[in-house]
Amino acid sequence: MRVRLYTLAKGMASVAPTRPSKTVKAAAAKQRMLKQLVCSDAPEQALRHCGFKVIAGIDEVGRGALFGPVVAAAVILPERASGLAKAGLRDSKQLLREDRERLDKRIRRIALAVSIAEVDAETIDRVNIYQATRIAMLTAVQGLSLEPDHLLIDAMRIDHPCRQTKLIYGDSLSLSIAAASVIAKVHRDALMRELDVMHPGYGLASHKGYGTPAHRRALLEHGPSVLHRRTFAPVKAVDRDAELEDLVSGDLFEAGPEEDSDWAID
């Protein structure tokens, strides 16, 4: 398993069909709903009222991508951080690149601790994306220079002894989680631009490894790279090696009725 941690203190198959318009409409409706939510320090203040003092917000990016690592960030903000809300901090997916990068600098300047962790595509394929995301989040928390006494996590829980709050739509409600979302997004986007130079032809700098039509066409034309997530259906569909592995595995390990009987006798 390859996990990277960054800490700062203070043509063989057709491309998968596009999703039906009903799904697109549902996604658009969800985005409209998320924009109505107010991102503030209310969750943090409620926890402080209960006696918690060092609260870390945790979020991930890249969970749905077809290429590269999933990235998680953990951020501990000072008690007075409402200025970030006035500066426009919210879920990184709802921000323009220039706004994310501006907020990234501001968060790093005022944060008490920031930690970033990556879990690579090979590990994602081995343990599945859900578990890889939890590993990235746990590693990010463990990399913090301050010990938190409570974790605010966007819609997940991790194997950490610290008290935790699983907050649905947390990156649209909590400044700490939104800060982690921005830190992780800016980091991963920069990484994708670097990897675009090393793996040309896929358009990584543009779509950041997500399954856009352009990315799927590139996969069909070039096949997957070593950093693609080969267990993800759109990648597996055009992976010649995966098709060969399935064929060989079937020939070697799929026993027929007679072989089953022989094994039973032994």
Domains with residue ranges and CATH for the chain: 3-207 (3.30.420.10)
Q: Which of 218, 215, 217, 241 is nearest to 230 (CA)?
A: 241
* Rounded Cα distance, 60 and 154, in Å: 8
Q: What is the pTM of this model?
A: 0.82
What are phi and psi for residue 240, nearest 5 degrees? -60, -35
Q: What is the pLDDT of residue 30?
A: 67
| Structural element, H or E, at residue 234 | helix 233-236
Cα distance between the two ends of the chain: 37
Q: For the ranges 22-31, 153-162, 176-185, which has the lowest average pLDDT? A: 22-31
Q: Which of 232, 109, 80 is nearest to 182 (CA)?
A: 109
* Rounded Cα distance, 111 and 108, in Å: 5
pLDDT tens sequence across 38-90? 899 999 999 999 999 999 999 999 999 999 999 999 999 999 998 999 999 99
Q: Which of 213, 173, 205, 200 is nearest to 188 (CA)?
A: 205
* Rounded Cα distance, 205 and 201, in Å: 10
Q: What is the pLDDT of residue 106?
A: 97
Spatial CB neighbours of 51, under 8 Å, sequence gap ≥ 6: none
Q: What is the pLDDT of residue 150?
A: 98
Q: Which residue has the higher pLDDT, 243 or 59?
A: 59
